[in-house]
Structures are given as structure tokens and as C-alpha cells.
Amino acid sequence: MYDYQSLTDQVIELSKKTGEFLLHEITALRQSDVEEKGVHNLVTYVDKAAEKQIVEALSRMIPESGFIAEEGTSNKVGKEYNWIVDPLDGTTNFIHGVPLYCVSIALRKGDELVIGVIYEPNLKECFYTWKGAPAYLNGKEIHVSSIPDVDHALFATGFPYYDYSKLDAFLEFFVYLMRNSRGVRRLGSAAADMAYVACGRYEGFYEYGLQPWDVAAGILLVQNAGGKVFDFSGGQNALFGKEMVAVSGGIAEEFLALIRNHF
């Protein structure tokens, strides 16, 4: 049995080190360094190098652990422990010089998330939590918003860039929230969006087409900050189901009814 608090401290330091690497490399990045993994799905040598560094460090922390990592640096599957890693969430922002992207690292024991760390290097904000602990931002305990209704809430989302199967419903719901809330933001990093729900900057975040490495750390952060996480049907398949809703507890029931009605 590992000490999750001690492991979290190590992951925080690793995330900050990776963040410094990202900030250094952005000054040298050229458009010729950009590759397309798929339609509008971009990657650079920076993503790959950062992930390699993370995987090597995490392997030292838990030698028997496996990985679910965006760039496929390791395909090892752990019997009990598996890290879920996104070395650079917000690659398109990074490539275009938009200063918002994150390092996201989570640890899963069996079917349970036990550590979540999200680091945004531009603002030097580190969001973190572990099993049985509160959620924190740079050492200060954080909580989801107490706003009680959708009408007074601010939301975040992400726009699909290759999976348009639910686009009509997505746009209809987007228009509904524009008219019936305080607005919808699009940062370009699901990890940042979920961290912002955890600390009360947003009341909710929703998106489809996401991967486990986009949301794993954020799921535990939101839950340990007092929020709710579910898929569009209200089920518990947000990690692998490619449908994500993360909301403050006060609006969870109302928001779930709305999203079910539109999707």
C-alpha cells in the first residue's frame, strides 16, 4: 500500500518540472515541428519528450505500475496501479502561443482514482488531491461554487474537432446556455476547465469526445472539492465513455435534466 499524500507531493514536483520544460520549449517551437495524428489532432516533439520524462519518473515511483498515456510512450498495463497521463493538455493552444495548457497526471488503483494533479505553468497554478483528501490549489483548500441554479452559473465546454456525431444537439444546448446562464467559455484545455470547476471559477463543464487522459485528474479534483461528475445520461462512465459533465453540487440535478433533454 502506497502513501498517496507522499506520492502526490512527488507528482506535484514532477508536474512543475514538466511545466518548466514546456515553457522553455515554446520559445523554440516551429511550425515544422507540428505533426497531425488525425484531423486537427496535433502533436509536437514537446508532447512526446514531456511524456517520456513523466513516464520514466512515475515508473520509479511505482515500478509495477502501468500507463494510459496520450502519446503512447508506454503500453504497459499494471495489475493494480495505472497512471493516466496527458503531458500537454491544450496542444493547439501551445502551438499557437495561447498561454493556457496543462500537465495532467492521475493514478488509478483498480477501478478507483486515487491521485489527481493538474499543473498550469503559465499561471503557476497547481491543483491536486488524493484519496480521502480535500482538493487544493497551491496549498489552499478549494471547493466548488455554491451558486444554486443554472441561471446564475458560468459554464465551460470544448468544441469537437473531428467527432461531429452530436454536433446539432451540442449547438442547440450551447445556444440554450447562452440564453439561460451567465455564459459559456472555451479555454481549449479540458484539464483546466475541470480544475476551474473544482475551485469554483465555473459552475460546470461539459464536453463529448474526450479521452481518459483529458479528464482523469480533473474527475478526482471535482469530486474531492464537493462536485459531481457523470456522463450525459447521469451514469458513471465519464472516464472512458467520452461524455463528461462536471458540476457543482448545487446545480447538478438541474443541469443533468437539461443535458438529458438536449442529448
CATH code for the domain of 209: 3.40.190.80
Query: How far apart are the C-alpha atoms of 236 and 49, rounded to whole Å?
Result: 33
For 62, list phi and psi in degrees, rounded to 5: -135, 90
Query: How far apart are the C-alpha atoms of 119 and 103, rounded to whole Å?
Result: 5
Q: Residue 41 is part of a domain; what is its CATH number?
A: 3.30.540.10
* Domain count within the chain: 2
Residue at which a domain ends, from 122, 142, 162: 142
Torsion of CA 239, 248, 5, 126, to 10 degrees: 90
Structure confidence at residue 44 (pLDDT): 72
The answer, yes or no, to whether residue 198 has pLDDT greater than 90, is: yes
| Residue 168 host element (H or E) | helix 167-180
Q: In terms of Cα–Cα distance, which of 162, 168, 187 is closest to 36?
A: 162
In one-letter notation, the amino acid at residue 247 is: V
Mean pLDDT of 96-109: 96
Q: 111 exposed, middle or buried (CB, 10 Å; 0-12, 13-18, 19+)?
A: exposed
> Contact, 192 vs 100, CB < 8 A?
yes
Confidence bin at 162 (pLDDT 50/70/90): confident
The answer, yes or no, to whether residue 29 has pLDDT greater than 80, is: no
pTM for the whole thing? 0.95
The answer, yes or no, to whether residue 32 has pLDDT greater than 60, is: no
Same domain (yes/no): 26, 49: yes
- What domain range is 243 assigned to? 150-262
